[in-house]
Amino acid sequence: MSNITGMHHIAIQAKDYKATIQFYEALGLTQFHSWSLPEFNIEYAALLQIPGTGSFIEIFDKNANVATQGRRAAVGELPVSGALLHFCFTVKNATVAYNEAIAAGAVSCIPPSVLFLGEPPLTVHNSLVYGLDGEVIEFIEAF
């Protein structure tokens, strides 16, 4: 029996945060929640929901320090990592998923944690690993 229950979101680091939000809203997505998280240099972040589903596009501002594949570009250097930051699976238990991934050969990125995002706070239980090919995989408990 698999612990994975679905695909939760795809994360994008926007060059122009407002324009990216408007683009996805024009495609029919609706804003579900927005927040900032100073300890990760996130000034602007939002979840845009695909209507009628539990699937989202997560948008981060260009300076957000979030887990991503590859390395960040130095000042004046062309981008080293792309706009796609990570993919995320909805799971029953983020700790179990993390431990199973590590046992299967993944490398720890961010151990299981609880975050409180925005006002009112949205409680998020998650964990992240680097997959076998360096991809960043997030496991998140449904909220």
Condensed to tens digits (0 to 9), the pLDDT of residues 89-108 reads 899 999 999 999 999 899 99
Tokens of 112: 């299981």
Strands 30-37 and 42-49: antiparallel
Whether the pLDDT of residue 79 is over 80: the answer is no
CA distance 121 to 7: 23
The pLDDT confidence band at residue 68, using thresholds 50, 70 and 90, is confident
- Please give the average per-residue pLDDT across 60-70, as a whole number: 88
pLDDT > 70 fraction of the chain, expressed in percent and rounded: 99
What pLDDT, on a 0 to 100 scale, did the predictor assign at position 104?
A: 87
The DSSP element (H or E) to which 137 belongs, if any, is strand 136-141
CA 134 to chain centre: 15
Of 133, 28, 24, 29, nearest to 86 by C-alpha is: 133
Across the chain, mean pLDDT equals 90
Sheet hosting strand 42-49, strand order edge to edge: 30-37, 42-49, 56-60, 4-13, 84-91, 136-141, 122-130, 107-117
Residues 48, 25: contact at Cβ < 8 Å?
Answer: yes
The pLDDT confidence band at residue 15, using thresholds 50, 70 and 90, is confident
What pLDDT, on a 0 to 100 scale, did the predictor assign at position 73?
A: 72
- Please give the average per-residue pLDDT across 29-48, as a whole number: 95
